[in-house]
Amino acid sequence: MEKNVEISLLLSFYKNMLTERQADTAELYYNEDLSLSEIGTELGISRQGVRDNLKRAESTLYDVEEKLGLAKRFLGIKSSLREIDAIISQIEKSPESRLLPNSIKHQINDILTIVAGINEIEI
Residue-wise pLDDT tens digits, 13-70? 999 999 999 999 999 999 999 999 999 999 999 999 999 999 999 999 999 999 999 9
SS3 108: helix
Average pLDDT, the chain: 92
Q: At 11, is the pLDDT very low, low, confident or very high (cuts 50, 70, 90)? A: very high
Lowest mean pLDDT: which of 77-81, 82-86, 108-112, 119-123?
119-123
Cβ atoms of residues 57 and 25 within 8 Å: yes
Question: What size, in residues, is the chain?
Answer: 123
**The dihedral of CA 40, 46, 52, 57: what is its sign?**
negative
pLDDT for position 96? 86
Q: What is the DSSP string of 38-99?
A: HHHHHHT--HHHHHHHHHHHHHHHHHHHHHH-HHHHHHHHHHHHHHHHHHHHHHHHSGGGGG
For residues 27, 30, 34 and 40, what is the CA-based torsion angle, rounded to 10 degrees?
50
For residues 50, 54, 55 and 61, what is the CA-based torsion angle, rounded to 10 degrees?
160
Higher per-residue confidence, 92 vs 42: 42
Contacts of 104 (CB under 8 A, 6+ apart): none
**What percentage of the chain has pLDDT greater than the value 70?**
98
Q: Indicate if the pLDDT at residue 122 is higher than 90.
A: no
Query: What value, to the nearest 5°, has the Cα angle with vertex 114 and ends 112 and 119?
Result: 95
